[in-house]
Structures are given as C-alpha cells and as structure tokens.
Amino acid sequence: MKKDVLETLKYNKGSFISGEELSNRLGVTRTAIWKHINQLKEEGYEIESVSRKGYRLMGEPDLLNQHALQLELKTKTIGRRIVHYDTIDSTNTVAKKIAAEGAEEGAVVIAEEQTGGRGRLGRQWVSPKGAGIWMSLVLRPSIEPAEAAKITQIAAAAVTLAIRRVTGCEAGIKWPNDIILHKKKVCGILTEMGAELNSVSYIVVGIGINANVDVALFPEEVKRIATSIKDCVGNNISRKEIVLHILKEFEDLYLDFIYTKSIKKSVEICKAYSVTLGNTVKIINRDQTIIAEAVDLTEEGELIIRNQEGQMEKIISGEVSV
C-alpha cells in the first residue's frame, strides 16, 4: 500500500492530491494514508502537507538500498534482493563470494563506495562515495562458459537504454563493454564467472557508472577519456532511477535470451547505439594489435571487422579504441 501511495504521489509530483482522493483511489482510510505518508517522510521523501490541499511530493531520497529500491522496482527476479554496503572493496568480489555460496539468481550487490574497484585487464576502477553506481548482478544461466560474453552485451544494451530513457543523454556503446557519452567513457562492465569445463555455475556482471562524479576531480589523464552523466545533464541525476531502469531493461533482455537462447534483441540495441561500427578501430587482443574497419555485429554479439587486406574477420573479445 505504501508503494501505491508513493506511486500516486509520484504521478502527481509537484501538485497536491488530497487525503480524501488518495483514500478513495486506493480504497483505504485517510488515517492509513496519513501513516504511509509519515513513513515515507521518515525514509527521506520530501512531502509537503497543507490542510485543505493535501499532500505534494517535492523530492525523493537517492538511496540505493533494499528498502528504497524495492518500493519502486518493477522486476520479477533481478534486484529482488539487494545487498547494500556503505563501503566495500569490490561489489564483484562480494557478488562472486555470495554466488559461490549459493546466492539466488537476481541478487544484486551495491556499494556507495569501493575501495578496491576492479576494471578489465586488472585495472583499478575509481569508485568515490555516493557519486556513482557501483553494482554487481548474480546470474545463473544454463550456458557454456564461451557464451558468457553475451551477458556483457545484454548489460551494455540495458545500461544504454536506461541512461537514454532517464536522462535523454545520447549514450553510445563502444564494443564490447564501454558506455560512452560525448566520446568519453561513462560506464564500464566487468563480467566474471564461476564455471566447470562445460557449464557456467554463476555469472557476475559488474556495472560501474560515473553518475554524479565531479569530472573536475578526475586526474588530468582520466579527464581526457572519462566523463559522468552529471557532466552531460548539468546537475546531479537520480542514481535510483537509473538503477531501477537498468534492472528492468536488463531483466527483459536477459529473460528474452533465456527463453529464445538468442541475444538478437540486445544485439539490435548494441548496433543501433554503437559508436564502434563504421569506424576504423584498433583492437588489442593479448599480444596482437589489429587496425581494421568495424563493420557489423553478429547475432551472437561478436564484432565483424574488415582487416587491412580486405578480409572479414570475427572478433570475440578485445580492447577496442575508436
């Protein structure tokens, strides 16, 4: 019921709605409405109460804990359990640990700050307190280890849709796992797994988004290559809205993959918002560096390139610079 009260206030955000109208619409007493309003206020929602006018939602807390997210989450499994930390070394490390101990599919680890955030290729991921979205999803798909990269494509598509829908910023995807705003990286995805020879036991998708990070505080060399959503929008954005949208978009695309055994839908999104395709790219894969033209993505999410000899090649993974 508190969820319904909040949804109605949100729908009317900025305008008053009377206690009587709320109680009629939701079929509960005005005293019950009053109690829910008080609870919401205690949780940090700014609700103005004016006699004869009613209630008006003015502001929402930007909390990423279980309580705050459950109230508004629209998913069936993804994010139904949130493990929230104020400070932790790495959400991926915690997610891998709880997955190995049997955590259910859809459990999500979120931290306000990471002291040992990890990026790809053993790099460090700077994760300042309260400024970003540092989270890891636990998944248990029945797939082979070689298919794990597909989950990265699903996550890239979900994050891009969420950023676009919530902020209107034109987020793009640098294959395979970077989300870009104005040619700079705003989000990185680190997919890790626990697996037997032929089957995955769990997958952890780590998503790091510079949401409200102040770019002025980046070291000079980072400023050239990284940005934040705040820098694009011009003010702080609601991390909660972004997380809610990512979890929903992710669940829709992930379930589609589980049912159809194809990531075609995610790949279509990755293609539509790709900043890689059509460009000359440098691909670093282990010790090899290739300069080539990025031509297309396969239905499995691999990159098709035209090499300097004019031949087409499929690239499964790698570090790409455009």
* Residue whose CB is less far from ligand BTN, 37 or 204: 204
Size of the chain, expressed as the number of residues it contains: 322
CA 313 to chain CA centroid, nearest Å = 31
- d(CA 90, CA 230) in angstroms, rounded, equals 23
Known binder of ligand: residue 92? yes
Helices (H), the chain: 2-11, 19-26, 30-42, 66-70, 91-100, 148-167, 220-223, 229-233, 239-260, 264-272
- The token pair that represents 128 in the structure block: 């300042």
Main-chain dihedrals φ then ψ at residue 163, nearest 5 degrees? -60, -45
In this structure, which amino acid lies at residue 170?
A: E
| Contact with ligand BTN (CB under 6 A) among 136, 152, 153, 167 | 136
- Answer for which of 45, 125, 218, 257 binds ligand BTN (CB under 6 A) is 125
Part of the chain binding ligand BTN (CB under 6 A), chosen from 122-130, 141-149, 248-256, 307-315:
122-130
User: Which structure tokens are listed for 66?
Assistant: 């279980």
Helix (H) or strand (E) holding 189: strand 184-195
List 75, 114, 210, 228, residue binding ligand BTN (CB under 6 A):
114
**What's the closest the beta carbon of residue 8 comes to ligand BTN, in angstroms?**
34
Out of 117, 141, 172, 301, which residue is the one contacting ligand BTN (CB under 6 A)? 117
Q: Judge whether 75 is annotated as a binding position.
A: no
Alpha-carbon Rg for the chain, nearest whole angstrom, is 21
Query: At 85, is the secondary structure helix, strand, or coil?
Result: strand
228 is a site residue for ligand BTN (CB under 6 A): no
Rank residues 68 and 209 by Cβ distance to ligand BTN and give the closer one.
209
> Applying CB under 6 A, does 128 fall inside the site for ligand BTN?
no
Binding residues among 162-221 for ligand BTN as defined by CB under 6 A:
177-178, 188-190, 206-208
- Residue 311, marked binder: no
Among 205, 37, 33, 38, residue whose Cα is nearest residue 120: 205
User: Which position among 5, 19, 40, 90 is part of the footprint of ligand BTN (CB under 6 A)?
Assistant: 90
Q: Give the Cα separation of 183 and 200 in Å (integer).
A: 34
Under the criterion CB under 6 A, does residue 129 sit at the interface with ligand BTN?
no
Contact with ligand BTN (CB under 6 A): which of 36, 80, 84, 118? 118
Which span (52-60, 112-120, 138-146, 238-246) binds ligand BTN, by CB under 6 A?
A: 112-120
Please report whether residue 318 would count as binding ligand BTN according to CB under 6 A.
no
For binding to ligand BTN (CB under 6 A), which residues are involved? 90-92, 114, 117-120, 123, 125, 127, 134-136, 177-178, 188-190, 206-208
